[in-house]
Structures are given as C-alpha cells and as structure tokens.
C-alpha cells in the first residue's frame, strides 16, 4: 500500500471515530455510560502519547499510568492546594511530567534494547507508593477532593456534557499534532531509529536525542490525559494509577495498531467501551477481553489498523483486477 | 589535491583479539580507494572505527583537517562521512523514497516548531527535500521505484538504495562496505559506472571489496590489509604482482609454487 493510500485510510478511520465520539452523547441518557465515553476520550489521549515512545520509537513503556498519576496530582495540587488557575495548573502538569520523562528517559534511552520497559515497571510502583504514603503532600489514600473544572471565554465546564466536548476537542487537536509530528522529519528519523538504530546513527541521527524527544511527547500527552481525568472526576486517589492500568494502555495500542495515531484512538475507544460492555459477565469479562486482544494480535500484529489496511488493499487489488479484465475484453 | 582522511597509528583490540594494529591510512580528496584483504583482515573494523561505530583503542583519525577520533557517529556524518553496510541495513517499514527523505534529516534547517506546526518555511523545506530525494533516486536509476516498499526491491537494487541513502546525507567521503557482494556481472558493471559518476560529483570513495575485477578496474590506489596490518599499498598494477599480497591471499606454499612455475 502506498503512502498516499495509507494516509487516505488513516483519514477515513479518524474521521469515523471522531464523528462517532461526537454523536455518542446524543444516545446516552444516564450518567454511567457517559462516564465511560469520557474515559474513552481521555484514554485515547494517553494511548496517543504511548504511541510516540512505543509506536514511533519502538521502546516499550510500562508506566503510562504513573505519568498520568503525576500529571493528575501536579494539576490537582496546584489547583486545589495552591489555588492556581485551571489552565496554569494544566500547563504546570505538562511541564512536571515533561521533566520527569527527560530525567527518566535520558539515562535509560541511551542504552539500546529493553531497558525502558524494566525501568518504567519499577517507576510505576514507586510512583504509586509515593502517592499513597506521602500523605502530608498528596493526601495519602484519601486523595484530593474538590478538584475544579475549567472555564473558557465565560463558558463553565461544570456540565459533564460540555466537559466531554472540551476533552474531545483537545483530543482532536492532539491527534492532528501527533500526525504532524509523525510526518515531519522528526517522525521519519524516529522510524529510522526504530527500524535499525545502528543504520540510523550511521545516517547522522542522534538516536538518544530522538528517543528522549519521543518520551517527552509521551509525558506531555499523559499529563493532559491525567489533568482531564482529575478534573472530570473532581477527585484523585492513588489506587487509580496501577500497573494494571499501565498494561491496559499497552493493550489498547497493540489492539488498535501499534505505530498508528488513528490506531491509538481507535484501540483506546474500542477497548474502553468493550470492557464496560462486558461487565455484565462478572468474573468472565476479563477472560473475553483478554481473548479478544489475543485473537487480534495473533491474526494481525498491527491490530485493527492492520486488518483495515489488509481489507482495503484487497479491495483495491480486486478493483484493479476487474478493471484489467474489462480492458482485456475490450 | 589535499588529503581528506588521515588515519594514524590506529589500533583496535576486542578483548584480546587484535583486529587492527598501528594502521596508517591516508586518502586524498576525490580519489577512489579500495581496501582489500582476506576474510577477517580488519577491513570492516577499519570502516567502523573511522565512521565512529566504535572508538579505536589507540591512534587518531583526522577528517577534513579536524580530529574526529572521539566524535560520536552522528557528528561525523554531519561533517561529511557516510557509509553503507556489508549486510544490508535498510529500514524495513519504509518505502524507497522515505529512505532518502529520512537521510536528509541532518541537513534540515527549519526547527521543531516550524516543522510540526503548519508554516511556510516548513512546507517549503519539505518540498525541497522531496525534490532532492527524486533527484538522487534518478541519479542511481531508482526513480521509478520511489513509492515501493524497500523490502520488495530485488537484491541488487537494495544495494543501490543503500548507496543512494548514503549520498542523501551529502557526504564528502563515502565508505562502501562490499557493495558488489552478491551482484551479477551485469549489476557489477553498472555499479562501476555508478561509482565513477559519484566520483565525478566530487565525492571521495572508500571501497571495501572482494570482487577483484571491480577493484582492479575502478580503484586508483589499493590498500591491502592482513591480520589487521597494512601489508601493501599502491596502484592496482603494482598490487597485482606484490608477492606479499599474493601470499596473503593464497598462502605461502601456493604462492611459492606459483612463483616457481612463473619462472
């Protein structure tokens, strides 16, 4: 499949997903499914972040939930404890997580291979226990309450529906930004590093810089997701940011299509909604959920995007074939 | 013509294995230099040390008047060194043209915000990169393959694509590690023509090669390595008859037999 056709498919998929997400609240009346939708959008932002480091740079990151947690807490503490303006607190959150990713990324990403995965698994656990036990600052197990909602141009986002659309608009903007980065020279260089680090360095690319660059973008996206999460719930507590949550981000990306920005959004939305749809099965829901992921991965390593690409390629080939046959019969 | 690359007394020791010993090499600007030697004689190690894949154990490398001995690989590329690999190292997920676009990364001038946010300079530079990529692809005769995935190219063209990718970095000197390995006679012929055209562009070529036909016809000067040491250097005619070179390739007994029969 050529680059132009790949882009066409990506555009179609992203438009369909975002249009569905825009229309979904119309069909949702009660509070709980609405919460799920909002979570799907927020997860989508976090998975787009993960895609920078895992998809583009090829480095497995097992601590997205920790980044989300630090983002949530940085925002919440600034907004609640120190009374900062919502937007200033949100920007602080991005800076704080950005600094964390710089300092974690630089020593680890200088090494080749799997060190990031090992480091982030550890970092995940450390973050959770710090949030849990540093009660004087983080509020410990009780967390932080009364987290504010934003206001913009006189609009108050206290209404959940309005807040949902704010999150969705941010998600679309971050989607467009991620696509721009992917198609820029930095995106190409990152792919080169992922494909063959030695060859990329022999072409003059600083692979450490590029991987840290991707990791910081991951941190920034996670911070936005963490901020939105805290502000939507108006409450944070440490037990949200578990390694299980981190693993689920990885499965969302793999399910949707690793290395693909629309795949990240698609995977996050599909799995968040699927998980809730399966809740009625009680203890069996995790089995079905896991089976769905395994089937996808075994059948197609590039997830849902891979399946869609394959279907599209087949259809194009069939169209060409029938065109050829028509030409021949003439 | 001046000297572009000066390697002096370079040694490389891999945990007890002496891969290079006190090696001197001096390459003039614009020449085609061949480095030959039996398997394991240290040719690829020499290229790896010069291009910065790993540092030498001792010795100095002066490139274009600058001591680059301790520079990381990517800094040396920015200063004008490019290379290909003995075992092809193309980017498996990229199309042909994307290889060339990616390799122009180092010479892009527009910064992060100019490239990521929509801007005039950003899209202008992107268009220039694309144009230059097509120019390089037509130079190596791969323009009609631009949109194809690199992995679907036939083997010979993949070798050529590696050379094209090295050229995209706009080098002063390019190191080719066995570019003719696995090529047919026809393909070697067109490779030879390509090498001469690269030289015409003012690019110095350092060629590590086993195919003697190519080496003898294209190289202006040949350096012969054996067990990590330089055993001979000179124009092809001289190297061809050098007894030490023949001995290194054929072994002492065979060489002396050959010598006798020649008499």
pLDDT at B254 over 80: no
B111 and B144 both lie in a single domain: yes
Find the CB nearest A202 among B83, B92, B117: B83
State the smallest CA–CA distance between residue B122 and chain A in angstroms: 9
The pLDDT tens digits of the residues spanning A20-70 come to 988 888 887 788 888 899 999 999 999 999 999 999 998 889 999 999 999
pLDDT more than 70, % of chain B: 94
Asked if A191 and B91 come within 8 Å (Cβ–Cβ), the reply is yes
- CB distance from A282 to chain B under 8 Å? no
B149 and B39 both lie in a single domain: no
Secondary structure element (H or E) that encloses residue A262, with its range: helix A261-277
For residues B122 and A116, give the distance between their C-alpha atoms in angstroms, rounded to a whole number.
Answer: 32
B189 and B113 both lie in a single domain: no
Question: How confident is the model at residue B98, as a pLDDT?
Answer: 92
What value does the mean pLDDT of chain B take? 88
B75 and B176 both lie in a single domain: yes
Domain of B54?
1-80+171-263
B67 and B184 both lie in a single domain: yes
| Average of per-residue pLDDT across B155-175 | 93
Question: How confident is the model at residue A221, as a pLDDT?
Answer: 96
| Average of per-residue pLDDT across A6-26 | 88
B164 and B176 both lie in a single domain: no
Find the CB nearest A203 among B53, B122, B165: B165
pLDDT at B259 over 80: no
Boundary residue ending a domain (B168, B191, B223): B168
Model confidence at B61, pLDDT cuts 50, 70, 90, reads very high
Helices (H), ranges, B111-242: 112-116, 120-139, 155-168, 185-200, 212-218, 236-240
| Average of per-residue pLDDT across B182-192 | 91
Model confidence at A140, pLDDT cuts 50, 70, 90, reads confident
Question: How confident is the model at residue A267, as a pLDDT?
Answer: 93
Domain boundaries, chain A: 3-329
B263 and B179 both lie in a single domain: yes
- CB distance from B89 to chain A under 8 Å? yes
CA angle A183, A188, A194 (to 5 degrees): 130
- CB distance from B53 to chain A under 8 Å? yes
pLDDT more than 90, % of chain B: 46
- CB distance from A198 to chain B under 8 Å? yes
Boundary residue ending a domain (B168, B191, B215): B168
- CB distance from A201 to chain B under 8 Å? yes
B106 and B65 both lie in a single domain: no
- CB distance from A202 to chain B under 8 Å? yes
The pLDDT tens digits of the residues spanning A146-193 come to 888 887 877 777 788 888 999 999 999 999 999 999 988 999 999 999
Asked if A184 and B116 come within 8 Å (Cβ–Cβ), the reply is yes
B21 and B107 both lie in a single domain: no
Find the CB nearest A177 among B116, B165, B169: B116
ipTM above 0.90, yes or no: no
A220 compared with A85, residue with greater pLDDT: A220
- CB distance from B127 to chain A under 8 Å? no
Model confidence at B256, pLDDT cuts 50, 70, 90, reads low
Asked if A196 and B72 come within 8 Å (Cβ–Cβ), the reply is no
The pLDDT tens digits of the residues spanning A184-218 come to 899 999 999 999 999 999 999 999 999 999 999 99
Which residues in chain B are closer than 8 Å to A205, comparing Cβ atoms? 74, 105-106
Specify which residues A152 forms β-bridges with: A155
The pLDDT tens digits of the residues spanning A99-110 come to 999 999 988 888
State the smallest CA–CA distance between residue B91 and chain A in angstroms: 5
| Average of per-residue pLDDT across A285-312 | 83
Asked if A3 and B103 come within 8 Å (Cβ–Cβ), the reply is no
pLDDT more than 70, % of chain A: 97
For residues B162 and B90, give the distance between their C-alpha atoms in angstroms, rounded to a whole number.
Answer: 7
- CB distance from A212 to chain B under 8 Å? no
Find the CB nearest B105 among A3, A202, A204: A204
Asked if A185 and B91 come within 8 Å (Cβ–Cβ), the reply is no
* Residue B19: φ, ψ to 5°: -85, -35
pLDDT at A330 over 60: no
- CB distance from B54 to chain A under 8 Å? no
Q: HSE on the CB side for A9, CA within 13 Å?
A: 22
- CB distance from A176 to chain B under 8 Å? no
B183 and B101 both lie in a single domain: no
Q: Can you point out the beta strands (E) in A137-263?
A: 144-145, 151-152, 155-156, 235-236
What value does the mean pLDDT of chain A take? 88
Assigned token pair, B194: 């390509």
Asked if A202 and B51 come within 8 Å (Cβ–Cβ), the reply is yes
Asked if B91 and A3 come within 8 Å (Cβ–Cβ), the reply is no
What CATH architecture is A3-329? Orthogonal Bundle (1.10)
Asked if B77 and A2 come within 8 Å (Cβ–Cβ), the reply is no
Instruction: Number of A to B CB contacts under 8 A, please give it.
Output: 93
Asked if B102 and A191 come within 8 Å (Cβ–Cβ), the reply is yes
| Average of per-residue pLDDT across B189-216 | 91
Contacts of A7 (CB under 8 A, 6+ apart): none
**Domain CATH code at residue B241:** 3.40.50.300
Asked if B77 and A198 come within 8 Å (Cβ–Cβ), the reply is no
State the smallest CA–CA distance between residue A270 and chain B in angstroms: 26
For residues B118 and A202, give the distance between their C-alpha atoms in angstroms, rounded to a whole number.
Answer: 30
Question: How confident is the model at residue B263, as a pLDDT?
Answer: 46
- CB distance from B109 to chain A under 8 Å? no
Boundary residue ending a domain (B133, B168, B203): B168
B196 and B92 both lie in a single domain: no
B71 and B184 both lie in a single domain: yes
| Average of per-residue pLDDT across B81-92 | 91
């Amino acid at each position: 499949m050529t680059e132009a056709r790949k882009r066409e498919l990506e555009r179609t998929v992203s438009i369909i997903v975002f249009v569905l997400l825009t229309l979904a609240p119309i069909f949702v009346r009660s509070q709980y499914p609405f919460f799920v939708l909002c979570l799907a959008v927020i997860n989508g932002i976090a998975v787009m972040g993960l895609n920078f480091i895992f998809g583009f740079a090829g480095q497995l990151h097992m601590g997205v939930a920790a980044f989300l947690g630090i983002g949530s807490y940085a925002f919440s503490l600034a907004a609640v404890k120190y009374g900062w303006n919502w937007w200033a607190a949100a920007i602080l959150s991005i800076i704080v997580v950005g600094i964390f990713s710089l300092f974690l990324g630089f020593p680890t990403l200088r090494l080749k291979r799997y060190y990031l995965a090992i480091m982030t698994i550890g970092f995940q656990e450390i973050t959770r226990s710090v949030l849990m036990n540093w009660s004087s600052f983080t509020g410990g197990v009780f967390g932080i309450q009364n987290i504010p909602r934003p206001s913009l141009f006189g609009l108050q986002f206290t209404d959940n529906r309005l807040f949902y659309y704010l999150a969705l608009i941010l998600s679309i903007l971050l989607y467009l930004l991620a696509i721009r980065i992917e198609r820029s020279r930095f995106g190409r260089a990152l792919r080169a590093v992922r494909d063959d680090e030695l060859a990329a360095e022999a072409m003059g690319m600083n692979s450490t810089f590029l991987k840290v660059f991707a990791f910081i973008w991951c941190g920034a996206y996670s911070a936005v997701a963490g901020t939105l999460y805290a502000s939507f719930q108006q409450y944070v507590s440490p037990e949200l940011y578990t390694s299980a949550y981190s693993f689920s981000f990885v499965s969302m990306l793999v399910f949707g299509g690793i290395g693909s920005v629309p795949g990240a959004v698609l995977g996050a939305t599909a799995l968040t909604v699927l998980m809730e749809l399966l809740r009625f099965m009680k203890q069996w829901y995790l089995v079905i959920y896991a089976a769905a992921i395994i089937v996808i991965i075994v059948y197609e390593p590039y997830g849902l995007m891979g399946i869609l690409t394959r279907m599209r390629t087949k259809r194009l080939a069939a169209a060409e074939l029938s065109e050829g046959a028509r030409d021949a019969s003439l | 013509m001046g000297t572009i690359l000066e390697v002096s007394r370079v040694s490389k020791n891999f945990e007890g294995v002496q891969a290079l010993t006190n090696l001197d090499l001096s390459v003039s600007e614009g020449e085609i230099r061949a480095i030959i030697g039996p398997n394991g004689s240290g040719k690829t190690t020499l290229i790896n040390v010069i291009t910065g894949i790993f540092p030498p154990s001792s010795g100095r490398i002066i490139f274009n008047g600058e001591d680059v001995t301790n520079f990381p690989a990517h800094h040396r590329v920015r200063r004008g060194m490019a290379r290909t690999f003995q075992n092809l190292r193309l980017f498996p997920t990229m199309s042909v043209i994307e290889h060339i676009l990616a390799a122009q990364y180092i010479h892009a001038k527009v910064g992060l915000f100019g490239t990521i946010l929509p801007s005039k300079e950003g899209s202008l530079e992107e268009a220039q990169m694309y144009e230059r990529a097509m120019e390089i692809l037509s130079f190596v005769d791969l323009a009609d393959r631009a949109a194809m995935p690199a992995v679907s190219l036939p083997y010979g063209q993949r070798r050529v694509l590696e050379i094209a990718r090295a050229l995209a970095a706009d080098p002063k000197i390019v190191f080719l590690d066995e570019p003719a390995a696995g090529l047919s006679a026809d393909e070697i012929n067109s490779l030879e023509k390509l090498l001469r055209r690269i030289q015409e562009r003012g690019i110095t070529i350092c060629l590590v090669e086993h195919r003697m036909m190519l080496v003898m016809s294209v190289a202006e000067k040949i350096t012969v390595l054996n067990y990590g040491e330089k055993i001979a250097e000179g124009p092809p005619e001289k190297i061809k008859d050098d007894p030490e070179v023949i001995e290194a390739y054929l072994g002492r007994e065979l060489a002396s037999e050959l010598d006798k029969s020649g008499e």
